[in-house]
């Protein structure tokens, strides 16, 4: 079937709309509003958000092999949609739960937030696995790309849809029946939009039946045996990387890259408000521009990796990240911050667009699926260390802490600059993290383009 006709099939649109739906959650909850509400509005330390987020990502990373087993070995039944429904409801209900709780119940709110992120991450495993139910081998790239495009679109549309609940208007345009509810007012609508745009996948996608694995004696392995094998496979995959020069080194370096980037994504809203004094409208526009640039930047940088060795391209992208983060840390000019935002977006899309071709270049064709699974697992685990590093730096160098007082005295900072200092140091710590990754990455072998 013609590729252009394929993406307009009802089941393909329904599948891709799930990507649209869950990016509404990731943008509005993880990036824009929850951390700002917790840190800026309620006055809690960044480390509280760091611990909740990192804990949920660690749990997702630990359970990912088991979830992958459940997705790939459904005992002959059609279970991916079943599990996707459970995880989607878990995420939606968790968000709705903490949206309805009073701020005084902060412990329970953080638990529900962590659960919402865990369910969101777990749902992605089953959503990705359903790609095989809506695409054929010859058009899987087009269908997958369509989902990615709708995901970026969902980020932008989600910000616009939720903004009136927060500010009572849409970029200054009065909207009837809306009143300004602040950051917390974004939570419940986000849960609603996530649920609403998820519905089509459960009605229009027909999951393909997968035969259950059969032992030599004709029996099927138990779930316990299957899950044990899934974790054993992860360890075997890690050991197998030793056979292929540069592969393990690349995965370790990418862990540092992804860790720093994930931290930038979840704390940038706090940084823009605390350091750059951005209002909600300006911050939303900044995120929209950066997201659009990430979408537009992925393709040309991906093409660049087709023309030149992917290692060189990725090295340049990460070096660009380090320079941008250093400029963020020292910059106080709003105009420069606005100029850097689109560049961050382009570099963000570039890391993801170029990392995959490099992994393919370093991996043997018969092991691509195995090592991409390891790559995906590493990405989940990568979002643990960076947030904890950010939270620790901001906590230790806060003006009321000993290290913060010493730094403020040495630098001769006024009260306003003293509040901004820990965030500037946190950004520098992420630049250092990426520099460590780049140091490791430099010895990844550069293979000739075929």
Tokens 């939270």, residue located: 391
pLDDT tens digits for range 32-46: 999 999 999 999 999
For 174, phi then psi, to 5°, come to -65, 135
pLDDT computed for residue 287 by the predictor: 95
Interatomic CA distance for residues 281 and 186, integer angstroms: 14
Between 127 and 196, the more confident residue is 196
Domains of the chain: 9-207 (1.20.1250.20), 240-444 (1.20.1250.20)
32 closest CA partner among 344, 262, 267:
267
Cross-strand pairs, 173: 170
pLDDT tens digits for range 344-354: 999 988 887 78
pLDDT confidence tier of residue 158, bands split at 50, 70 and 90: very high
What are the DSSP E strand ranges found in 96-222? 169-170, 173-174
Q: Which long-range contacts (CB under 8 A, 24 or more apart) does 319-328 make?
A: 319/438, 320/347, 321/257, 321/260, 321/261, 321/347, 321/351, 321/431, 321/434, 322/431, 322/434, 322/435, 322/438, 325/260, 325/264, 325/427, 325/428, 325/430, 325/431, 325/434, 326/428, 326/431, 328/271, 328/427
Please give the mean pLDDT across all residues of the chain.
88
Interatomic CA distance for residues 156 and 292, integer angstroms: 8
Between 102 and 63, the more confident residue is 102
What are the DSSP E strand ranges found in 137-295? 169-170, 173-174
pLDDT computed for residue 385 by the predictor: 92
Judged against a pLDDT cut of 80, whether residue 5 lies above it is answered with no
pLDDT above 90 as % of the chain: 58
Between 434 and 61, the more confident residue is 434
Between 440 and 370, the more confident residue is 440
Residues with Cβ within 8 Å of 239's Cβ and at least 6 positions away in sequence, in order, are none
Compute the average pLDDT of residues 45-66. Answer: 92
pLDDT confidence tier of residue 76, bands split at 50, 70 and 90: very low
Give whole-number Cα distances, 37 to 182, 237, 410, in Å: 8, 41, 32
For 170, phi then psi, to 5°, come to -120, 95
Helices then strands (H, E): number in the chain? 17, 2
Between 273 and 375, the more confident residue is 273
pLDDT computed for residue 244 by the predictor: 81
pLDDT above 70 as % of the chain: 91
3-state secondary structure of 169: strand
pLDDT computed for residue 380 by the predictor: 76
The CA radius of gyration of the chain, in Å to the nearest whole number, is: 22
Compute the average pLDDT of residues 128-137. Answer: 82
Interatomic CA distance for residues 154 and 195, integer angstroms: 13
Judged against a pLDDT cut of 80, whether residue 103 lies above it is answered with yes
pLDDT computed for residue 399 by the predictor: 93
pLDDT computed for residue 229 by the predictor: 78
- As a whole number of Å, the end-to-end CA separation of the chain is 29
In this structure, the dihedral spanned by the alpha carbons of residues 71, 73, 76 and 77, taken in order and rounded to 10 degrees, is -20
pLDDT tens digits for range 177-227: 888 899 999 999 999 999 999 999 999 998 876 555 555 455 555 667 777
Q: At what angle do helices 46-72 and 247-274 cross, to 10 degrees?
A: 140
């Amino acid at each position: 079937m013609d590729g252009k006709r394929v993406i307009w099939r009802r089941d393909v649109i329904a599948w891709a709309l799930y990507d649209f739906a869950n990016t509404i959650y990731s943008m509005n909850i993880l990036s824009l509003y929850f951390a700002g509400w917790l840190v800026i509005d309620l006055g809690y330390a960044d480390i509280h958000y760091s611990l909740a987020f990192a804990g949920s990502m660690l749990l997702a990373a630990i359970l990912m092999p088991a979830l992958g087993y459940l997705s790939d070995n459904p005992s002959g039944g059609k279970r991916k949609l079943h599990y996707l429904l459970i995880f989607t409801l878990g995420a939606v209900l968790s968000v709705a739960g903490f949206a309805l709780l009073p701020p005084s119940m902060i412990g329970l709110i953080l638990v529900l937030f962590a659960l919402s992120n865990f369910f969101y991450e777990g749902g992605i495993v089953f959503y990705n696995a359903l790609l095989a139910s809506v695409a054929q081998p010859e058009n899987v790239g087009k269908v997958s790309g369509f989902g990615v495009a709708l995901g970026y679109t969902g980020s932008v549309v989600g910000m616009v849809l939720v903004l009136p609940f927060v500010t009572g208007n849409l970029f200054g345009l009065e909207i009837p029946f809306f009143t300004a509810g602040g950051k917390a007012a974004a939570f419940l609508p986000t849960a609603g939009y996530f649920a609403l745009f998820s519905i089509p996948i459960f009605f229009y996608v027909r999951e393909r039946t997968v035969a259950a694995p059969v032992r030599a004696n004709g029996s099927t392995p138990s779930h316990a045996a299957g899950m044990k094998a899934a974790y054993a496979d992860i360890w075997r995959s890690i050991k197998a990387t030793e056979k292929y020069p540069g592969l393990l080194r690349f995965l370790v370096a990418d862990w540092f890259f992804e860790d720093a980037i994930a931290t930038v994504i979840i704390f940038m809203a706090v940084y823009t408000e605390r350091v750059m004094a951005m209002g909600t409208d300006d911050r939303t526009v900044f995120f929209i521009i950066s997201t659009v640039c990430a979408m537009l930047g992925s393709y040309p940088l991906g093409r660049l990796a087709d023309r030149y060795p992917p290692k060189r391209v990725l090295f340049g992208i990460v070096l660009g990240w380090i320079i941008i983060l250093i400029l963020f840390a020292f910059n106080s000019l709003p105009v420069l911050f606005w100029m850097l935002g689109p560049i961050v977006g382009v570099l963000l899309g570039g890391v993801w667009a170029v990392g995959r071709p490099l992994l393919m270049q370093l991996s043997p064709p018969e092991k691509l699926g195995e090592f991409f699974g390891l790559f995906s697992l590493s990405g989940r685990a990568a979002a643990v260390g960076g947030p904890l590093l950010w939270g620790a730096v901001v906590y230790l160098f806060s003006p009321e802490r000993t290290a913060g007082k010493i730094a403020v005295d040495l630098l001769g900072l006024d009260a306003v600059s003293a509040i901004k200092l820990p965030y500037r140091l946190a950004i520098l710590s992420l630049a250092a993290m990426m520099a460590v990754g780049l140091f490791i990455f430099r010895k990844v072998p550069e293979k000739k383009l075929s």
